[in-house]
Structure 1
Amino acid sequence: MPEILNPERIMQVADLSDARLDEYLRLSEAHLRMRTDVENGLYIAESTKVVQRAINAEHVPRSFLLAEKHLDQLVEEFNRFPDAPIFIGDDRQLEDLVGFHLHRGAMASMNRPEPLDLSQVLEASSRVAILEDIADHTNLGAIIRSASGLGVDAVLLTPKCVDPWYRRSARVSMGTVFDLPWVRMLSWPEDIRTLKQHGYQMLAMELTDDAIPLNEVQITAGQKVAMILGNEGRGVTAQALEAVDQTVIIPMHREVDSLNVGAASAIAFWHLCSAPR
């Protein structure tokens, strides 16, 4: 087992008012964190696996926070970034600091990379998922994990969609959010015009009178396709539906009218990505 090259970086959590720990305070307050973390150019990676995937994606840690018993799990990451301090504490101290029981090994405060360019992402892609105002971080993480695993090239987020780098989203995605390109659009649904200019067929998953079964959607080689998935409560907005080329549904049985957006997204992605490109 390699050793931490500079063990003097390891600091015991002694005073929860220590300003160096401010980035880890009250992590359970999701709506507050979503705003302030973006403004401050950071996000929190939670669990050793997510920290490792973030660093493997070339994201840069500001600091690490973990229980002493987990130190040996991130030695390679510690040594790659010798200037990032390592804070350790017992379970009670860490819970008092972050606001919940930290049982997934470790956390790291990470610098947010610069946003990707929408046009460049669209040019490089052929299968795109558009997430319209997804409100639940767990749903977002599950959708991104499915998108990554099933072959979606990129994910686009509307302005009101929750943050994919919020710790719960990133954790549920198993860190795949760091490998899959995503862009937060600035103007919705006006940005649909940009997708059409790049040659995308626009689909939306929604229960409308003219919706067709997903399995009847024919995709030819070379065709670019984008699928909109709507908010958990209201679905896809009327403004977006007016701009798409076709609405689609997943045929259901036993009087079940729809699936959770996370489950529905996996089915949609499999269909889109199994078609020839």
Structure 2
Amino acid sequence: MVIPVEDAADPRLADYTRLRDVDLRKSMEGAQGLFVAEGEKVIRRAVGAGHPVRSVLTTAKWLGQLADVTRDVTVYLVSDEVMEGVTGFQVHRGALASMERLPLPPVPEVLAGKDSRTGPPRRIVVLEDLVDHGNVGAIFRCAAALGVDAIVLSPRCADPLYRRSVKVSMGAVFAIPYARMTDWHDGLAEIRAAGFQLLALTPDRHATALGDAPLKERVALMLGSEGDGLSSHWLHEADLPVRIPMSETAMDLGVDSLNVVAAAAIACHSLVARG
């Protein structure tokens, strides 16, 4: 069902309106149970993960490449100018899909590996209050690429299915199980009760070097917000604070830490490599 649309204000395109307006999108997507996938690869991965397609917005150039995905789906065909008028930016990947969200499993189900193909998770990442959607998407990509089994989000973490998160992750948000805590204050207790050792990543020079940390069978790596890092409450709740050692030259220059995405990649690699 290919429907040409020539007006950016056409109400049928409401799912794609002002994609860069974070507040608008958060309220609208939450209320309607949708998210937007951008680009052929990401759309295919979302479909492969079982998300139903509500509609597709695309230009003539990309219509044929998505033919197998858009069979039995409403496709709105627009010009580049109309596309930019609807979304508020140039869509270089040429296609957008409005997808339906699936119910998010509760934390205990993810920790038990209920829907996992590889069994109960042994190495997980726990994110506290990361509000940058790009950082959340990048960490999902790192975690999926390096073999982390699952991710748990604090209640205030950015939405992994926000368009920028999905885009930056290259669809990795559909490849790794995740859940969101309902209680920040006692959320870590639930993870510990499932048998996980809680490692708090910190730039504190007195913390144990990550490579020297004694690891238990199940490990949860805790990462804090972009600016402040982990809260004092979560640091106190951790079983062991760990750090990524900085070179002496870096310390002399006042560089005592990495950005959260780089730190996540190094720490995930270290944990998974150690088994």
Question: TM-score interval w.r.t. the shorter chain?
Answer: over 0.9
Q: Which of these residues, 41, 64, 85, is aligned with residue 74 of structure 2?
A: 85
Cross-structure match for 1:67: 59
Structure 1 residue 17 displacement after superposition: 2.7
2:238 paired with 1:244: yes
Cross-structure match for 2:83: 94
Q: CA–CA distance in 2 between the matches of 1:135 and 1:236?
A: 13
Structure 1 residue 209 displacement after superposition: 6.0
Q: Is the 8 A contact 1:153 1:181 kept in 2?
A: yes
2:213 paired with 1:217: yes
2:1 paired with 1:35: no
Q: CA–CA distance in 2 between the matches of 1:266 and 1:217?
A: 17
Three-state SS of the structure 1 residue aligned to 2:9 is coil
What code does the residue aligned with 1:104 have? Answer: R
Deviates more, 1:207-216 or 1:45-54: 207-216
Q: Which of these residues, 136, 142, 146, is aligned with residue 146 of structure 1?
A: 142
Q: CA–CA distance in 2 between the matches of 1:168 and 1:140?
A: 9
Cross-structure match for 2:261: 262
Alpha-carbon displacement from aligned partner over 1:185-206 (angstroms, at most 9, x marks no partner) = 1111311110111010001111
Q: Which of these residues, 64, 86, 102, is aligned with residue 113 of structure 1?
A: 102
Q: CA–CA distance in 1 between the matches of 2:153 and 2:269?
A: 20
Number of aligned residue pairs: give it: 263
Structure 1 residue 94 displacement after superposition: 0.5
Structure 2 gaps of 5+ residues are 114-120
Structure 1 gaps of 5+ residues are 1-8
Cross-structure match for 1:233: 227
Three-state SS of the structure 1 residue aligned to 2:68 is helix
What code does the residue aligned with 1:88 have? Answer: L
Cross-structure match for 1:45: 37
Cross-structure match for 2:201: 205
Runs of 4+ with deviation above 4 angstroms:
none
Q: CA–CA distance in 2 between the matches of 1:119 and 1:140?
A: 21
Q: TM-score, normalising length from structure 1?
A: 0.92
Three-state SS of the structure 2 residue aligned to 1:11 is strand
Alpha-carbon displacement from aligned partner over 1:13-47 (angstroms, at most 9, x marks no partner) = 22333222111000011232123212210000011
Three-state SS of the structure 2 residue aligned to 1:76 is coil
What code does the residue aligned with 1:113 have? Answer: L
Q: Is the 8 A contact 2:205 2:243 kept in 1?
A: no
Q: Is the 8 A contact 2:8 2:83 kept in 1?
A: no
